[in-house]
Amino acid sequence: MTENPYCTAVLAWYEGNARDLPWRSADVTPWGVLVSEVMLQQTPVARVLPAWLAWLERWPTPADLAADSAGEAVRMWGRLGYPRRALRLHACATAIVERHGGEVPDSHDALLALPGVGVYTAAAVASFAFGQRHAVLDTNVRRVLERLVNGRQYPPKAPTRAEYRLAESLLPAEPAVAARWGVAVMELGALVCTARSPRCGDCPVVDRCAWVLAGRPPHDGPPRRGQRYEGTDRQVRGRLLAVLREAPGPVPKSVLDAVWDEAAQRERALDGLVADGLVDPLETGEYALPS
Give residue-wise pLDDT tens across range 99-128. Answer: 999 999 999 999 999 998 999 999 999 999
Catalytic hit among 37, 72, 146, 187: 37
Per the CB < 8 A criterion, the answer to whether 13 and 199 are in contact is no
Q: What is the pLDDT of residues 201-235, one digit of tens each?
A: 999 999 999 999 999 999 887 776 666 778 899 99
Per the CB < 8 A criterion, the answer to whether 274 and 256 are in contact is no
Q: What is the pLDDT of residues 151-196, one digit of tens each?
A: 999 999 999 999 999 999 999 999 999 999 999 999 999 999 999 9
Q: Is the pLDDT of residue 239 over 80?
A: yes
What does the pLDDT read at residue 1?
A: 45
Query: What distance in Å separates the CA atoms of residue 175 and residue 260, rounded to the nearest whole number?
Result: 52
φ, ψ at 280 (rounded to 5°): -105, 120
pLDDT above 70: percentage of residues in the chain? 98
Per the CB < 8 A criterion, the answer to whether 148 and 210 are in contact is yes
What does the pLDDT read at residue 225?
A: 67
Left (φ > 0), alpha (ψ -120 to 50) or beta: where does 101 sit? Answer: left
Type of residue found at 13: W
**Mean pLDDT, the chain, whole residue set:** 94
Beta bridge partners of 287: 251, 281
146 is catalytic: no
Q: What is the pLDDT of residues 73-108, one digit of tens each?
A: 999 999 899 999 999 999 999 999 999 999 999 999
Q: What is the pLDDT of residues 246-285, one digit of tens each?
A: 999 999 999 999 999 999 999 999 999 999 999 999 999 9
Query: What distance in Å separates the CA atoms of residue 47 and residue 194, rounded to the nearest whole number?
Result: 18
pLDDT above 90: percentage of residues in the chain? 91
